[in-house]
Amino acid sequence: MNSTIFAGIRTALQANTSLATLITSNTRITAPNKLGSSSYPYIDLTGEDGLGEKRTGYKYWKEREQEGLLIVEIYVKTSWKDADDIVAQVDKTLVSDTVTSTWGWKKISESNIWEDEEKIYKKTIRYSFNYLITDS
């Protein structure tokens, strides 16, 4: 995924003060595995690109619409309710199109996993969205 878009997603989530309160600090919204297992709760973000489609006038402007996929993993030690509260704030931020230079955010799926060995509540959410890329 385009690094500018990924940074915009992270910035939008960090700007949500309700979300920052729930996870103690907005520095706990990060790329995968940057914090380690000692900092709970926290959010891992992973971005992937889907299909891109050249826009009308591509020959001149080199613009294409790119489909993006964002995987959000939420790790909590306390309860499913706390994890659900974090999910609600992530949804509020992303689905309301607050991320700069993106549009069409849709929640694709959500799953719950109890990691018994580490005693962690883990939620995985997938979102699709679109953004514009200018090729060189």
pLDDT in tens, 30-61: 655 554 555 788 888 998 887 677 667 777 77
Rounded distance, CA 70 to CA 16, Å?
A: 18
- For residue 4, the one-letter residue type is T
pLDDT in tens, 56-105: 777 777 777 888 999 999 999 899 999 999 999 999 999 987 898 899 99
The domains of the chain, with CATH numbers, are 3-134 (3.30.2000.10)
Q: Which residues contact 89 (CB under 8 A, 6 or more apart)?
A: 16, 18, 19, 22
